[in-house]
Structure 1
């Protein structure tokens, strides 16, 4: 069984390893919670949100050994709706969870470009390589091939660069090159009639994060506009959305996810798919920082937003992943 690596764990998560952990005890408690006359949802929530992903992987393995069945299958047969979805999601190894989300975003007649953008813009090279490897094992196809057949033009080119994990990760920054890149971006957009989208794709998707931060500052000195404003005025459609997501993740990844959560929670209906995905995948990485950014953005806490927009066992699970009210 694949296990979580430090690649998927950060110091600003709300979910940590449970001290005094026993996979056998937890597996037995879960079996009791779902195999009795009625389901003990509180017990499930307590265990699933009180253990790290690595510990959940160990529980699932122990459950199969002890009871001869896949824990995921028993959950699916006993639960339903959003609560089932979040519980099963918490049981998945992070790279598999992302791979399944990517597959789902490209499945069928329509593509969920926003989910595709969210994942590819926010993962680093090592994470993307693990996701691509897991995608092939789980889906029997190459991630790059599916992206190629599901997208077109510069949008496809940018997605493929990100999916293949080709970003420079050198921590040293060449100041002169950053200034040159800023000028290239200005010449490719604001300074000319029409836009050279390829120049934006090559720089934003291949340069290192520290390099891009410096480039964005140099760009503002030259253009007197932020790179975000220029992208918004020079481009449109999914390419604009992707490049803006890349810029936001370079500048402040928790703020990017806070914005995504705010969109998922506000309005006439809640986007439970986005809400579940972000709460699950960021709970061990940077949920504390996302909470802070969410409050800056909206004026109220993520905890209170979840309480007002969700209900039942699904709400209780998300509130545990949130970790408290800021």
Structure 2
């Protein structure tokens, strides 16, 4: 997936010069938001970290604190998100999802279904280091039933590698027996199989399942399960098929309908801008017959919109 992000490291990069630009943009009366967003969306996260330390060295001030003091609202949330290292960003998002008022299950689903096993292990380790708490215990304490079990399985980051040719048919059969074939669903089977197999293997299982049952795996899950378990199973299946397509859909539904879910919009744009946003854009165009750029443009405003459109990196109209 290397190089499928819309944001790339800047070629002739000078951290001290960038720090100077940001300092001037916030100095004196009024803030030059435009300079801030133009600069930060044109640097990689690694470069932003260098700018942050250059800023402290040159001015004896914390760049994040200064940005928070000068900016506000969704624009501030987006810019601070861009300034946060990716691992720390995921860790903080999970912590807030668990420790806020009521559990934000959407965040748990999105992060744990879409990150690689190694990323999940890194997240757990960083979470313990940052909060001196166990992520699995925190999530277990806040969730229940099969939803909790599948989250715990995903948290182990121990998915099988590659395709196990010998078990494709058996896996499909077991899922068929557990769902479509009998009245009432054996959720544990879905949780165990979908949580433990590799994406490549699951894609083969989904094909075999379709032949057996006449249904796509997603259709069966929608019919047989409900609530947060259903959301998580669907996310796992969609991510096994295609992570960019999953995020294209996540972005679409964050903006579709009454009111924009800005938290989700910001989280996806920040976390995917250097990973696979180019692929997300082309899946978005294919799935929804409009461009991500045009939808963001129609659904947001001001500096917030400007920064999001720069992260978008172009229009696929």
Normalised by the shorter chain, which TM-score bucket? over 0.9
Partners of 2:134 and 2:2 in 1: how far apart?
28
Tell me how far 1:257 sits from its aligned partner. Answer: 0.7
**Cα-to-partner distance string for 1:178-197 (whole Å, 9 max, x where unaligned):** 11111111111111222111
5+ residue gaps, structure 2: none
Name the SS of the counterpart of 2:173 in structure 1: helix
Matched, 1:65 2:67: no
Moved more, 85-94 or 287-296: 287-296
TM-score computed with the length of structure 1 as normaliser: 0.94
**Cα-to-partner distance string for 1:231-250 (whole Å, 9 max, x where unaligned):** 11111111111001000011
Matches within 5 A, 1:244-255: 244-255=234-245
Q: Which residue of 1 aligns with 2:109?
A: 117
Tell me how far 1:175 sits from its aligned partner. Answer: 1.9
Q: Which residue of 2 aligns with 1:235?
A: 225
Matches within 5 A, 1:78-93: 78-93=70-85
Partners of 1:282 and 1:216 in 2: how far apart?
26
RMSD of equivalent CA atoms: 1.2
Partners of 2:94 and 2:115 in 1: how far apart?
13
Q: Which residue of 2 aligns with 1:292?
A: 282
Partners of 1:243 and 1:86 in 2: how far apart?
29
Name the SS of the counterpart of 2:194 in structure 1: helix
Name the SS of the counterpart of 1:18 in structure 2: coil
Matches within 5 A, 1:188-207: 188-207=178-197
Q: Which residue of 2 aligns with 1:6?
A: none
TM-score computed with the length of structure 2 as normaliser: 0.97
Matched, 1:282 2:272: yes
Tell me how far 1:137 sits from its aligned partner. Answer: 2.5
Tell me how far 1:136 sits from its aligned partner. Answer: 2.0
Q: Which residue of 1 aligns with 2:215?
A: 225
Q: Which residue of 2 aligns with 1:306?
A: 296
Partners of 2:93 and 2:14 in 1: how far apart?
30
Matches within 5 A, 1:17-96: 17-96=9-88
Q: Which residue of 1 aligns with 2:151?
A: 159
Moved more, 53-62 or 100-109: 100-109
